[in-house]
Chains A and B, each alone.
Chain A
Amino acid sequence: MRSRTGPVILAMSILAAMAACDSSPPDRSAPPPTTQVSGHPAEHQAGHQEEHQVEAAKSPTALAGQLQQYYAQHTLLAMRQMRSVLTATPAYRQAADKELEEYTEELAQIVAAKFGDAQGERFEQLWQGEIAHFSAYAEAVAGNDAAARQQARSDLLADADAYGDWLAGASGGRAQASGAAAAMRTHAEQLMEQADAYAAHDYDRAYRVERQGYEHMFAAGTDLARASLAPKAAATLDMPVEKLRAAFAMLLGEHMQLIIDTQRATFDGAPQFKAAAAQVNANSAALTKGMGVIVGPSKAGEFQEVWAHHVEGLLEYSTALASNDQAEKTAAREEMRGYGSRLALYLSDIVRNELPLKPLTEAWGAHDQHLVDQINAYAAKRYDEAQEMELDGYGQMLGLAGTILGAIQRTLSPQLPVGGSQTGGGGTAHRRR
């Protein structure tokens, strides 16, 4: 077992250190300092550190980032596991099961650190039960067993209620049982709906609901973090700076996951590919809109063009791989390198060189490499390895998102208007009181 959230927390810690290096007055835009880094990078690189103890991040924002990552990734693993049942791909299911189990153990360790050992154990039981019921639901759908399907649905809704009760108790009332249960019911409904849609070959709906499910649980990760924090610390999660970081991390992580879906769907058929690719485009459109908020309309259009080449290069590679065309694969890799450099140049430019170009280019190259490696492994049916690459790549993407957003925050804040507005000059409004 190893830490999945090291890069995210690491990036946040480094951003905090960067803010601390600045001699200027305290800046609300800077993330609060973290005092602990979970998941040493060397350990992460080594990859197979068994029995690694995952530590909960100490700063509220880093904790939120950690739990957003775990909840969102859990959702995608569960969806992929359910689809492996529907497509009768036992080797893929085995890989997804293994990752779900490890993810659950790691998540339970974080929960135990925040709420106490007994609560960690209870959480692990609940989570394992939910995963088993998702599997049971997929098996019932695959076997066309209406009674078993209804039973699994009832179990999942009961799981959601139990989660609500658990979180309300574990948090000492900071979270309300009804709200937490409702969030988990939505989660359960989304996973069942995507499985139903996938089994009915309604891939458009399956992939659309997948994306909604990912976004829903990313937000639920924030709620779990909030429930573990004192009110003052929890309030930092509602600050605009933190909301922007979370939103971009969600979108960039989603990009990574949707590319994986689409690369893999190339091997499954035209309807699956088109449905998955439509969600990639929806994500790219949302990212471009988001960039527009930060850099303005003209630069947003420039971002979209560079981003489009980035996305197309990744999918050209998997197309070449699926058709076993070596020359096309080589050309796709070349294109990816070229547009990785352009993307890094664009990002470095918008943050006014707060981030140096060379390592930024290399970080985007690492993102591409994860995606190439995962689809290579998937194509060769080395599903364990494909899952490992997926999870490593997701963590790296979120870490990179945090680093980029930190630089954006440092660039943006000095450009905002200072103080209030002088929008009155007569005293009339005062006198009427």
Chain B
Amino acid sequence: MTAGKARLAVGVAALLLLTGCAAGGRGAEPPPAAAARTTGSTAAGVDAARGFHSTRGYRATPVPVRIGIPAIGVTSSLDRLGRAPDKTVQVPSRWEVAGWYAPGTRPGDPGSAVILGHVDSKRGPAVFYRLRELRRGDLVEVARADGSTVRFAVQRTEQYDKRRFPTDEVYYPTLTPALRLVTCGGEFDATVGHYRSNIIVFATLRP
């Protein structure tokens, strides 16, 4: 059996076992007299229930268009980023402009929104040059396409070797609104033209 078929077979088993917990036979319908509690309260409850509508009209949160980080003097529009063909994250095409990882969370929604920016170019500092200076409590503002602004407070700033990049902590969905800011840091490897580490700022939604 291939790994895929084996997984599917076990998936079937899991679901069948969950189905097996159904009541089946118990919980029989009550006789009419028992069910029809013809009190005024029940009649009012029934009337209210007939007017019930489940919540609808889901509206997606607007996309982010601009970031501001007053503590380090950053203001930038935001490019949309995705995943490159080699499965790494795309990076902004301009040194002075940050980018939002669009397949992920929109800032303010549950989950971690990810904004990336370059630390430098061969000519000098880039948009996130001072990112590593951010400290707990510093403010990050993200403006959205509808004109609203969502604010985050920095919790911590960490440096990670790129070979041990905490993918789940940065990109994995959660139900808590958060923001991750990512740039490069640490040693610069001149032989390949890249830094060996990433600086990651972890921030949470400010009420």
Contact surface of A with B, Cβ cutoff 8 Å: 7, 10-11, 14-15, 17-18, 21-24, 28-29, 41, 44-45, 47, 239-241, 243-244, 247-248, 251, 265-270, 272-274, 277, 280-281, 284-286, 288-290, 292-294, 296-298, 300-301, 304-305, 307-309, 311-312, 315, 318-319, 321-324, 329, 354-356, 359-360, 362-363, 365-366, 369-370, 372-374, 376-377, 379-382, 385-386, 388-389, 392-393, 395-396, 399-400, 403, 407, 410, 412-413, 415-431
Contacts and interface: CB of A to CB of B under 8 A. Distances in A.
B176 to A, nearest CB: 8
A429 B10 contact: no
A428 B101 CA distance: 25
A308 to B, nearest CB: 4
A373 B23 contact: yes
B42 A266 contact: yes
Q: How large is the interface on B (under 10, 10 to 19, 20 to 34, 35 or more residues)?
A: 35 or more
B71 interface: no
B121 A243 contact: no
Contacts of B41: 267-269
B24 A369 contact: yes
Please indicate which of the listed interface residues A277, A385, A429 has the most CB atoms of chain B within 10 Å of its own CB: A429
A112 to B, nearest CB: 26
A41 B193 CA distance: 58
A231 B10 CA distance: 32
Chain A: interface secondary structure? helix
A286 B109 CA distance: 11
Given A247-B175, A370-B22, A427-B188, A41 B111 contact: no
A290 B110 contact: yes
Interface in B148-207: 160, 162-163, 165, 167-169, 171-176, 182-188, 190, 193-195, 197-198
B62 to A, nearest CB: 10
Given A243-B174, A369-B22, A421-B89, A363 B15 contact: yes
B129 interface: yes
B27 A385 contact: yes
A270 B45 contact: yes
22 contacts: A11-B18, A41-B20, A44-B21, A269-B48, A272-B45, A273-B52, A281-B54, A281-B55, A323-B36, A324-B36, A355-B15, A369-B23, A376-B29, A413-B172, A417-B88, A417-B101, A419-B163, A420-B88, A421-B182, A429-B120, A430-B187, A430-B188
Contacts of B50: 319
A19 B22 CA distance: 26
Contacts of B110: 289-290, 292-293
A392 B22 CA distance: 8
B45 A429 contact: no
Contacts of B29: 321, 329, 376
